[in-house]
């Protein structure tokens, strides 16, 4: 009897270890409603953040196939597709493979700003543009996607300004960059890498903000703890990953794709985020 109990214990522990460290791609879907869209209008956004030059199959085929299967209308790339310590090639392969699936929009994360010598040999933004990516640099544009008029804005990572002037005011610069957006009934989407800059986003006229950077808090305990530690938030981050409803906007934070045996992801698998925006007017 004692031997059977020990065997059962090892089986249970093995299952827990496997499920907690599972690093297979996960598709996570969020539903967002807006009275700026009519009831027969919808928009599907795929959010891919914090790849950190990780690889998923030959030339990212696994990741690309899963994104294609979601049939997105828009692909949002809010930074850190590259990693300062790794080759940029996996990020370039991803962008190349995504070309033609849906319009792509990208803003820098801190790793695109603070790059290695490999980055110097490539103008990262120009490489992205060569594959049809719309690179937003503290700017916005009006577009029509799936028959819906949209405003899509993008903020560069704060590190860009700090590298030029340590006294820069990212909050003020971001507000100034978006001040000419008309407060009309057009649905507005903002890409900005930093999950924690909620106070700045609240000042801007956007309905949906898409971010990354927090890596899902690295360690999660379902239903108990959404994240243990996140960059620039520290322990028990408030904005680790998921959907957050604020007074004036909805904030979706991707948990990213980076994985490492040195810093494992616990109950925090790499995720493709799908956001279905549906009208209710």
Q: How do residues 126-176 score in pLDDT, each as one tens digit?
A: 999 999 999 999 999 999 999 999 999 999 999 988 777 788 899 999 999
Q: Which pTM does this prediction carry?
A: 0.91
pLDDT for position 258: 80
Spatial distance between the Cα atoms of 101 and 8, rounded to a whole number of angstroms: 47
Q: The tokens of 241 are what?
A: 């990953």
Is pLDDT larger for residue 3 or for residue 32?
32
Residue pLDDT, tens place only, 98-107: 999 999 999 9
pLDDT for position 263: 73
- Who's near 76: CB < 8 A, 6+ residues apart? 45, 46, 47, 48, 105, 189, 191, 210
Which of helix, strand or coil describes residue 126?
helix
- Whether the pLDDT of residue 262 is over 90: the answer is no
Parallel, antiparallel, or unpaired for β 242-245 and 229-230? unpaired
Which of helix, strand or coil describes residue 182?
coil
Is pLDDT larger for residue 5 or for residue 232?
232
Please enumerate, as own/partner, the contacts of 62-67 that have beta carbons within 8 Å and a separation of 24 or more.
Answer: 62/25, 63/25, 63/94, 63/257, 63/272, 64/94, 64/97, 64/98, 64/101, 66/25, 66/27, 66/272, 67/98, 67/101, 67/272
Is pLDDT larger for residue 9 or for residue 92?
92
Q: At residue 9, what are phi and psi to the nearest 5 degrees?
A: -60, -45
pLDDT for position 164: 77
Mean pLDDT of the chain, nearest integer? 90
pLDDT for position 123: 85
Among 6-10, 86-90, 134-138, 175-179, the minimum mean pLDDT is found in 6-10
pLDDT for position 199: 97
């Amino acid at each position: 009897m004692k031997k059977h109990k020990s065997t059962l214990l090892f089986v249970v522990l093995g299952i827990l270890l496997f499920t907690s460290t599972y690093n297979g791609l996960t598709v996570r879907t969020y539903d967002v409603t807006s009275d700026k869209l009519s009831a027969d209008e919808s928009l599907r956004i795929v959010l891919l953040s914090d790849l950190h030059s990780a690889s998923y199959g030959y030339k990212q085929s696994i990741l690309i196939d899963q994104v294609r299967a979601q049939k997105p209308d828009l692909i949002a790339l809010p930074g850190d597709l590259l990693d300062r310590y790794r080759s940029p090639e996996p990020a370039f392969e991803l962008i190349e493979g995504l070309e033609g699936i849906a319009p792509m929009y990208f803003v820098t994360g801190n790793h695109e700003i603070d790059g290695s010598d490999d980055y110097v040999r490539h103008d990262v933004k120009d490489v992205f543009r060569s594959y049809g990516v719309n690179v937003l640099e503290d700017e916005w544009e009006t577009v029509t996607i799936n028959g819906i008029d949209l405003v899509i804005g993008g903020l560069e990572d704060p590190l860009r300004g700090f590298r030029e002037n340590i006294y820069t005011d990212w909050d003020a610069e971001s507000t100034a960059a978006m001040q000419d957006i008309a407060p009309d009934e057009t649905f507005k989407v903002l890409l900005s890498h930093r999950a924690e800059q909620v106070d700045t986003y609240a000042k801007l006229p956007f309905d949906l903000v898409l971010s990354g950077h927090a890596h899902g808090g690295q360690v999660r305990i379902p239903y108990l703890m959404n994240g243990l530690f996140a960059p620039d938030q520290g322990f028990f981050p408030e904005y680790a990953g998921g959907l957050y409803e604020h007074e004036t906007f909805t904030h979706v934070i991707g948990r990213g794709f980076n994985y490492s045996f040195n810093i494992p992801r616990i109950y925090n698998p790499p995720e493709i985020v799908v956001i279905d925006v549906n009208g209710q007017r």
